[in-house]
Chain A
Amino acid sequence: MIEVAGVSKRFGSTVAVQDLSFRVEPGHVTGFLGPNGAGKSTTLRILLGLVRPDAGTATVLGASYRDLPHPAGRVGAVLEASSFHPGRRGRDHLRVVARESRIPESRVDEVLETVELTGDARRRVGGYSLGMKQRLALAGALLGDPEVVILDEPANGLDPRGMRWLRDLLRGLASEGRAVLISSHVLAEVAQTADEVVIIDRGRFVAHSTVEEVVAGGAGGVRVRTPDAARLRELLAAAGMEAAAGRDGALVVRGAEPARVGELAAQHGVVLHELVAESGSLEDVFLQLTGDTA
Chain B
Amino acid sequence: MTALLAAEVLKLRTTRLLLWLGLILVGVVALSVAAPIATADEFGDAFGQSDWESTVVSAAGVATLFALLAGVLSLTAEYRHGTVAWTFLATPKRERVVLAKGIVSALAGVGLALLAAAVALAIAVPWLSSRGTPLELASGELWRNVGGLLVACAFWGALGVGLGGIVRNQVAAVVLALIWFPLIEPIIGAINNEVGRYLPSSAVDALLGGAATADPLPRPAALALTLAYVAVFWAAGAFVASRRDVA
Contact = CB atoms under 8 A, between A and B. Distances in A.
Contacts of A120: none
B10 A102 contact: no
A220 to B, nearest CB: 40
Interface stretch (A19-27, A75-83, A165-173, A263-271): A75-83
Given A92-B14, A99-B3, A99-B7, A50 B81 contact: no
Interface in B162-183: none
Interface in A58-81: 65-66, 68, 71-72, 77, 79-80
Nearest to B9: A99
B93 interface: yes
Interface string A83-112: 111111100110111011110000000000
A68 B89 CA distance: 11
B3 A100 contact: yes
Contacts of B88: 49-50
Contacts of B243: 52
B3 A52 contact: no
Interface string A44-61: 010011111000000000
B10 A95 contact: yes
B245 interface: yes
A99 B245 contact: no
A218 interface: no
B89 A72 contact: yes
Nearest to A82: B82
Interface string B14-26: 1111000000000
B3 A45 contact: no
Contacts of A183: none
B90 A100 contact: yes
A48 B89 contact: yes
Interface residues of B, number: 27
Nearest to A83: B82
Nearest to B100: A100
Interface residues of A, number: 35
Interface string B214-247: 0000000000000000000000000000010111
B81 A11 contact: no
Contact of A85 (B15, B93, B247): B15
B40 interface: no
Contact of B92 (A11, A41, A65): A65
Given A50-B85, A88-B15, A99 B10 contact: yes
A85 B7 contact: no
Counting from the closest, the 10 A-B pairs by CB-CB distance are: A83-B82, A100-B7, A92-B14, A50-B246, A66-B92, A99-B7, A100-B90, A51-B245, A101-B90, A72-B90
Interface of B: 3-4, 6-7, 10-11, 14-17, 77, 81-83, 85-93, 243, 245-247
Given A41-B247, A50-B89, A100-B7, 4 more contacts: A50-B247, A66-B93, A83-B85, A96-B86
12 contacts: A11-B245, A66-B93, A68-B92, A72-B90, A83-B85, A85-B81, A87-B16, A89-B14, A93-B86, A96-B11, A100-B7, A100-B91
